[in-house]
Amino acid sequence: MTDDAQAAQIPDVSLEKASRFVAASGFVVEEVTATSVRGYAELDENHHPPWGVIHGGVYTTIVESAGSIGASYAVAERGEFAVGVHNATDFLRPSTGARVNVEGNALHQGRTQQLWEVIITDSASGKQISRGQLRLQNVPMPEGN
């Protein structure tokens, strides 16, 4: 299967088509391969809890999105997609707002499970803000898809 055909198997992940919650996370996907995902997000007061720094859930959500998109892409050609079973995200530095780079990589891709790592970096300083691991299970696509 070509990369294009493989890509055709995964749904549109653009922000324009995203649900309210996914859109609010702000994560923009720029590149997906079977072992990596790359993108960015503009984080600001739209992502704050009441106490003025970026909500940790923004980072966990980006880890979840990036890992799920990459892992699902990786198994699309065999009629499967990947669902997260465990998301473990560390918060390394607080930020009040930043453009962040998102870089996801497969750490392990087994027959039934995958493990992805996602690193979120302040684009300006190059420092890591957060990093997480997502464990996923490969499952058959629903009939009719």
Is the distance from CB of 38 to CB of 104 less than 8 angstroms? yes
Active-site residue, selected from the candidate residues 64, 103, 117, 143: 64
Residue 46 in tokens:
């739209």
Residues 66-95 that bind its own copies (CB under 8 A): 68, 72, 81, 83-92, 94
Element (H, E) at 131: strand 128-140
In the list 7, 8, 17, 125, the residue contacting its own copies (rule: CB under 8 A) is: 17
Is the distance from CB of 66 to CB of 27 less than 8 angstroms? yes
126 binds its own copies (CB under 8 A): no
- 64 has catalytic annotation: yes
Alpha helices (H) in the chain, listed in sequence order: 3-9, 20-25, 56-75
Residue 34 in tokens:
């079977």
138 binds its own copies (CB under 8 A): no
The catalytic residues are: 64
* Site residues for its own copies per CB under 8 A: 10-13, 17-26, 45-51, 53, 55-58, 60-65, 68, 72, 81, 83-92, 94, 107-108, 110, 112-113, 115, 128, 131, 133, 135, 137
